[in-house]
């Protein structure tokens, strides 16, 4: 036998199920496939890799990514491939690459300009053609965002839809699924998803089932004060639509909500007992990250970007907003737990990775006054990190047998246009952190179970064909790591740092990480 690559003597975790037995063996890779597994002592290869003492497993699947735009500006995706990630599920939280019509198209324009993306598109078929031409490192799978559907048809209006608008959204949904989107996502805290009611989501989910869209994922309507009601809504959507539902980044946000975790688990368990297929994902950190204006009441977003800015600049409306925010977040330390992760203006770059309360103190303003001023000055384009969660709850969620791992981040590289700001370290360290901190150091679950949750389980959940498992004939997406030394190095102050302990990463039979270094290869494929 002759192979392109021969991986010798590694401890193989095949990714099939959480209690599967690991075994020592060899793997032969030819072209883009795994050609043979077992004792391949008589075989030859263009390159042989000595994997003695380290683990060989399927490439990791990031179940919650936001790389649709960054991949167009820098396809290297170094922050992901250096974690061992070989496939990303994109189009989460109601935001996807397409459809982009009308107000949805206009709202994305600034994002594309910031990333120096020259191309424009409306549909998934157009987007996929552009992405394929650009080339990229990791495999790309996507959902269609409900926010895209709604904004493309009715913009950012806070109202119920009429019949004709629902029909137009359904047509866009069908086109997206026919083009390759694998399901639908919602972001029910973001505009325009925040303006939809439960019945609107149920109707679209039923349409998605009809069009063979496989899964409904959701950034729920609340992850804090309204958490239990949001869980009820997810369950209602799933039971009424008969669709697999998947809760994105399941969490209990805000100290006063930490005690709700057992009730969350009970509601999920009861729904599963009723036959609902319900899964979730989570990143291994107790800080969240999103746009700073997510703090605003939802009515402030109505009408889109320009209308939001007008309201923020109106003194009388600002006073009304202020009262609502302080009523929702009366905690004395609320602003202490928010740090600025990114701004656009050079004169404000010094603020990145600093606490909002400290910055406001230096400026002589109250935190909420500074909050309004920085949003207005930066034209709303301010990223923030929110330290709002509990470590014990995090571990309980990670241990759930139906929980998978997602970075909740875009693919960035260590230099170039995507190496901006101080993004959440989850974009560079999530999967090594699971294997180092939560498997090796804290023994939250076994290495076998962690690998399964990173590979076979998400492949089954998202119906990813012939990936997520080490098996003959499957695509050669393979990650090879040292379980004794794997460790995340990315921090909130210095996020652009490679993890340690990941030695080789293959995507479609091509090494993108070889002996710990990126090769620059771009073998990723769009999975439809």
Share of the chain above pLDDT 70, in %: 99
Q: What is the pLDDT of residue 213?
A: 79
The phi and psi torsions of 386 (rounded to 5 degrees) equal -115, 115
Are β-strands 2-12 and 338-342 bridged in parallel, bridged antiparallel, or unpaired?
unpaired
Reported confidence tier of residue 21, pLDDT bands at 50, 70, 90: low
Instruction: Give me 280's structure tokens.
Output: 């979730």
Sign of CA dihedral 262, 266, 268, 272: positive
Q: What is the pLDDT of residue 1?
A: 87
All structural domains of the chain with their residue ranges: 2-58+470-483+497-518, 60-286+388-461, 292-384
Q: Where are the alpha helices (DSSP H) in 135-251?
A: 146-154, 163-179, 198-210, 227-241
> For residues 338 and 387, what is the distance between their CA atoms, to the nearest angstrom?
6
User: Is the pTM value of this prediction over 0.85?
Assistant: yes
Just give the CATH number of 60-286+388-461.
3.20.20.140
- By three-state DSSP, how is residue 292 classified? helix
> Is residue 410 a contact partner of residue 264, using CB atoms and an 8 Å limit?
no
Give me the DSSP letters along 172-189: HHHHHHHHT--EEEEETT
Q: Looking at 211-215, 368-372, 412-416, which range is the least confident one?
A: 211-215
Just give the CATH number of 2-58+470-483+497-518.
2.30.40.10
> For residues 213 and 243, what is the distance between their CA atoms, to the nearest angstrom?
9
pLDDT at residue 18 above 70? no
> For residues 428 and 422, what is the distance between their CA atoms, to the nearest angstrom?
12
> For residues 238 and 124, what is the distance between their CA atoms, to the nearest angstrom?
26
Q: Three-state SS string across 379-410, please?
A: CCCCEEEEECCCHHHHHHHHHCCCEEECCCEC
Q: What is the pLDDT of residue 24?
A: 94
* Mean pLDDT, rounded, of the chain: 96
- By three-state DSSP, how is residue 276 classified? coil
Reported confidence tier of residue 20, pLDDT bands at 50, 70, 90: low
Q: What is the pLDDT of residue 19?
A: 59
Q: How many CB atoms lie within 10 A of CB 313?
A: 12
Reported confidence tier of residue 17, pLDDT bands at 50, 70, 90: confident
* pLDDT tens, position by position, 63-83: 999 999 999 999 999 999 999
Q: Looking at residues 28-57, what average pLDDT do you find?
A: 97
- By three-state DSSP, how is residue 443 classified? coil
Reported confidence tier of residue 373, pLDDT bands at 50, 70, 90: very high
């Amino acid at each position: 036998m002759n192979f392109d690559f021969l991986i010798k003597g590694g401890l193989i975790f095949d990714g099939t199920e959480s209690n599967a037995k690991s075994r020592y063996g060899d793997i032969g890779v030819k072209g883009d496939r795994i050609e043979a597994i077992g004792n391949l002592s008589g075989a030859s290869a263009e390159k042989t890799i000595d994997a003695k003492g380290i683990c060989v497993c399927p490439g990791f699947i990031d179940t919650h990514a936001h790389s649709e735009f960054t991949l167009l500006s820098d396809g290297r995706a170094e922050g992901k491939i250096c974690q061992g990630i070989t496939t990303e599920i994109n189009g989460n939280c109601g935001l996807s690459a397409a459809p982009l019509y009308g107000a949805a198209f206009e709202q994305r324009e600034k994002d594309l300009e910031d990333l120096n993306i020259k191309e424009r598109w409306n549909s998934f078929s157009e987007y996929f053609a552009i992405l394929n031409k650009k080339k990229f490192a990791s495999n790309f799978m996507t959902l269609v965002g409900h926010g895209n559907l709604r904004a493309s048809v009715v913009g950012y209006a806070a109202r119920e839809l009429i019949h004709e608008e629902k029909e137009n959204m359904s047509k866009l949904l069908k086109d997206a699924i026919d083009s390759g989107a694998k399901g639908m996502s919602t972001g029910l805290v973001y505009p325009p998803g925040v303006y939809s009611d439960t019945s609107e989501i149920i109707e679209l989910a039923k349409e998605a089932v009809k069009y063979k869209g496989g899964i409904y994922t959701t950034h729920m309507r609340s992850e804090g004060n309204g958490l239990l009601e949001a869980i009820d809504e997810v369950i209602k959507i799933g039971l009424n639509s008969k669709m697999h539902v998947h809760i994105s980044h399941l969490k209990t946000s805000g100290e006063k909500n930490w005690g709700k975790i057992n009730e969350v688990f009970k509601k999920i368990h009861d729904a599963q007992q009723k036959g609902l297929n319900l899964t979730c994902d989570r990143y291994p950190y107790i800080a969240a990250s999103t746009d700073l204006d997510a703090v605003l009441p939802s009515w402030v977003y109505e009408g889109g970007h320009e209308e939001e800015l007008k309201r923020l600049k109106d003194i009388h409306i600002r006073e009304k907003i202020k009262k609502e925010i302080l009523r929702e977040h009366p905690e004395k330390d609320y602003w202490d737990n928010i740090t600025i992760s990114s701004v656009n203006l050079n004169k404000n770059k010094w603020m990145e990775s600093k606490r909002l309360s400290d910055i406001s103190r230096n400026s002589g303003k109250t935190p909420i006054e500074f909050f309004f001023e920085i949003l207005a000055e930066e034209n709303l384009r301010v990223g923030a990190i929110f330290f709002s969660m509990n470590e014990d709850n995090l571990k309980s969620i990670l241990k759930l047998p139906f929980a998978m791992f997602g970075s909740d981040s875009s693919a960035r590289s260590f230099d170039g246009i995507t190496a901006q700001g101080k993004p959440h370290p989850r974009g560079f360290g999530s999967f090594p952190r699971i294997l180092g901190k939560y498997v090796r150091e804290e023994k939250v679950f076994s290495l076998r179970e962690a690998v399964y949750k990173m590979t076979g389980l998400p492949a089954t959940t998202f119906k990813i064909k012939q990936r997520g498992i080490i098996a003959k004939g499957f695509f050669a997406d393979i990650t090879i790591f040292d379980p004794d030394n794997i460790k995340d190095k990315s921090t909130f102050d210095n996020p652009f740092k490679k993890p340690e302990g990941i030695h080789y990463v293959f995507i479609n039979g091509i090494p993108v990480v070889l002996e710990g270094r990126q090769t620059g290869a771009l073998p990723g494929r769009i999975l439809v």
